[in-house]
Amino acid sequence: MSDSWEILRSECESCKACELHTTRTNCVFGTGNINADLLFVGEAPGDNEDKTGIPFVGRAGQLLDQYLYAVDIPRESVYIANILKCRPPKNRDPLPAEEDACMDFLRRQVKLIRPKIILCLGRIAAMRLIRPDYKITKEHGEWVQKGNFLITAVYHPALLLRDPRRKEEMLVDMKKIKEKLDQID
Ligand code: URA
């Protein structure tokens, strides 16, 4: 049977594959343009995302919006999802078993969207989607060809809130991503 957004969303909303379903308010499925060339993948929902069901709407999300604005990528033109669809308590890092249980949703989202570029927001997404030993401080902004996609990673906006000295590097990376997006359009 072929997959559809309706099936996928409803499976995600009723998912009990890991313990996070017991503490979630909302499943944070993903949002944006289902025909996007550019797919953002973050780590996991935080408190604001859990409350609203929408990814990247808290402080980190507002900072991400500023970068999107700065490089002229409308938020509505991209799709935004996370490795985990449910919030880990106290925003702890996802457990490997939680990632394993959740990855099929992201795989199916990628198949439906067929983006040209996947942008990992932060090390957790990069370690899952690029390489388990990915070093974000050394490798951020570098392109990796994986199957049909170009993948890269940038610092997680939550890290930039804690360490604003890295904001300049983030802007450079985001400009590179916009350039690549314009080239492959
Ligand atoms: N951080 C993430 O990784 N994802 C969100 O949706 C919000 C904050």
56 Cβ inside 6 Å of ligand 1: yes
Kindly indicate the confidence band of residue 2, based on its pLDDT and cuts at 50, 70 and 90. confident
Domains, in order of start, for the chain: 5-184 (3.40.470.10)
**From CA 28, how far away is CA 128, in angstroms rounded?**
19
Helix (H) or strand (E) holding 9, with range, is helix 5-13
pTM of the predicted model as reported, rounded to 2 decimal places: 0.97
Percent of the chain with pLDDT over 90: 96
Kindly indicate the confidence band of residue 92, based on its pLDDT and cuts at 50, 70 and 90. very high
Residue for token digits 């594959």? 17
pLDDT tens digit string along 114-154? 999 999 999 999 999 999 999 999 999 999 999 989 999 99
Backbone angles phi, psi at 166, to 5 degrees: -90, 0
Centre of ligand 1 from the C-alpha of residue 6, in Å: 23
The closest-lying atom of ligand 1 relative to the alpha carbon of residue 122 is: 3
- Extract the tokens encoding 155: 């610092």
Q: What is the per-residue pLDDT for 1?
A: 64
**From CA 74, how far away is CA 82, in angstroms rounded?**
19
Kindly indicate the confidence band of residue 185, based on its pLDDT and cuts at 50, 70 and 90. confident
Q: SS3 of 53, please? A: coil
Q: What is the per-residue pLDDT for 23?
A: 97
Centre of ligand 1 from the C-alpha of residue 180, in Å: 24
pLDDT tens digit string along 144-169? 999 989 999 999 999 999 999 999 99
